[in-house]
Structure 1
């Protein structure tokens, strides 16, 4: 029996060529897989390093923004404290203005109570009216400043709230980024699980509105100075008016003393005139009685002798003297009535001046004494 030679391909045994090809292909594939694994590892490491760098950079940015926001927040807090203090000062200044205005109006009303004859539109009235106008202007300005400060405080508080919210959000973002930076491929159980993340958008930094509108405050300070000057001017006008009224009152009192003295003199001279008239009338009656008795002499004895002539002359002269005395008494009564009128007029004017002095020196001074205008 002859043995036939067959090739592996012909006998159906292992195909070495195909096996070699497959083995080579597998080896090549394995090499490619190794390269892929190496490339993937390098890519993962590179991307992880880049991510960590970006996260670190983001953390530094957030840290910088946080510091900026903290500085802004500190400025806002300090500014709020300053505004609150300023608001308190301006409110107190406004209350002072209201008190000063009330005192000025009361002074004007009190001076209106003066007697009409003494109610003159004098320097004090003009200064009081000017003072009222100045105080009303300052009060209006201070009220506007209070309103502006209140609005600025509201805006600053709103800015403070937004700054605090922004800081809170940045702190949360920083914590999340720090956690992300600390993560490794081995720190998570399932690398295929991913949490929902959102791209961190740059936070809008809140810039607080600065309190720059200080012009009204400066104006308020200037008007406070103006009001102080006006109050001083009014006080000086009061003092001068009080001194003038005191001087006039003193002059009238001196004049009244002289008038009273003259009135007493007139009363005395009138009494003396009346006594002299009575005495002269007695002498006249005596002379007339003598003449009447001499008419009863015997007819041949009734001659116009020197005694008769003397008696007739005496009656004539006494009658003339009595007439003059009576005229003097009447004139004295007129003078006395005129002096009494002067007395009453002086007493009335003195009373009027005393009332005006009481209003200016006591009542108005008491109203104005509590007024203290400090710098706003």
Structure 2
């Protein structure tokens, strides 16, 4: 059975008008709200754009300031690094001078020791602790003191060079880090919203930076490196001034002592020559006196020989006259004269023999004196050979240089 389709209800005209008006009012209200929302959204967009632009400008300004600060510190660090490099190079030059000065002490010291060793070959009375030996010993002490001082100075120089290199290392490390930071900030400063290869990490913020370095601490770190470099540079400059004085003073001391030893050596050579000449003069006198004494001995021997004949004659006469017969044994004048002659001749013989003995003793003494003088002259010749021929050229070969 078919169901009868119901006819839609009919509305009254006022209801129609009311419904139409309600729809119009609702549409108008929705459009008005939409307009207000669009206006608010545009305001938000404009404010967001302005804030974003302002923040980027602020960040760019801060980055530029940071880059300028980094560049300033890089300039300061680079300036100090160049000063430190220059100072270290100069210090190395001074170290080379000290090394050469230390090396140059070996030859003079060996020569001085050789001179002292050669002078030990003096003989007899010439083995004397004279001014030359004292000056040579003092020269040896001066050279050993100079070597010790230069060695300590060299050790101080090496230590200062190490400290300079340490300060230079921290400056270079600081410069490298600041160069890297400047490159990063340079790249950050040119980034724009349209730049390619932009990355975004939602969680990245300031709290995620695992560092406790404050700007003040950052500056203090560079200040510490600069201050340390400046301190070591000043210490290096002071050490170089000390090295300059040490090099000058040691060279002056060595030259002064070398001159004193050379003067003493030349004076001793002249004294030895004078003593040798005096001894030679006395030797000539002794030799001449020996010759005179030998001639005197010969004359005495001749005189004694000459007296033996007359004495024998007188003694023979007395012996023969003692053979006279008893009545003829008269003490006549001939007998008296013969007795006096024998006594006088015997007395003369005794005096001649005494003179002969004295002359022989004197000749032996002169001969002994001759041998002693010849020994002394030989000793002086040996000393002259050592001092003048060996030591003097050796000592003159010493060259004291100022490095």
TM above 0.5:
yes
Residue 36 (1) aligns with residue 63 (2): no
- Contact 1:8–1:15 (CA<8 Å) still a contact in 2? no
Residue 303 (structure 2) aligns with: 276
Identify the residue that residue 288 of structure 2 maps to in structure 1: 261
- Of residues 342, 361, 372, the one that matches 2:399 is 372
Unaligned runs of 5+ in 1: none
**CA–CA distance in structure 1, aligned partners of residues 56 and 161 of structure 2:** 48
Alignment check: 8 A CA contact 1:249 1:354 kept: yes
Instruction: Give the Å deviation of 1:98.
Output: 4.2
TM-superposed deviation, 1:153: 0.7
The equivalent residue for 1:356 is: 383
Distance in structure 2 (CA, Å) of the matches to 1:88 and 1:31: 83
1:113: how far off?
A: 3.8
Equivalence map 1:1-376=2 (5 Å): 4-7=12-15, 11=19, 15-115=23-123, 117-190=125-198, 192=200, 202=218, 204-205=221-222, 206-207=225-226, 208=229, 209-210=232-233, 211-214=236-239, 216-217=242-243, 218-289=245-316, 311-375=338-402
Q: Give the superposition deviation at 1:114.
A: 2.9
Deviation at 1:146, TM superposition (A): 0.8
Q: CA deviation at 1:190?
A: 4.6
CA distance in 2, matches of 1:311, 1:2: 228
**Structure 1 pair 3/309, CA: closer, same or farther in 2 (3 Å)?**
closer
Contact residue 138 and residue 220 of structure 1 kept, 8 A: no
Q: CA deviation at 1:195?
A: 11
RMSD of aligned C-alpha atoms? 3.3
| Aligned CA distance change for structure 1 residues 6 and 275 (closer, same or farther; 3 Å) | farther
In structure 2, the residue corresponding to 1:373 is in which secondary structure?
Answer: coil
Q: For 2:317 and 2:115, how far apart are their aligned partners in 1?
A: 79
TM-score by length of 2: 0.80
Q: Deviations over 1:158-184 (max 9, x none)?
A: 222222222222222222222222222
Name the CA shift for 1:8/1:369 in 2 (closer, same or farther; >3 Å).
farther
**Structure 2 gap segments, 5+ residues each:** 1-8
Q: C-alpha displacement at 1:48, in angstroms?
A: 2.2
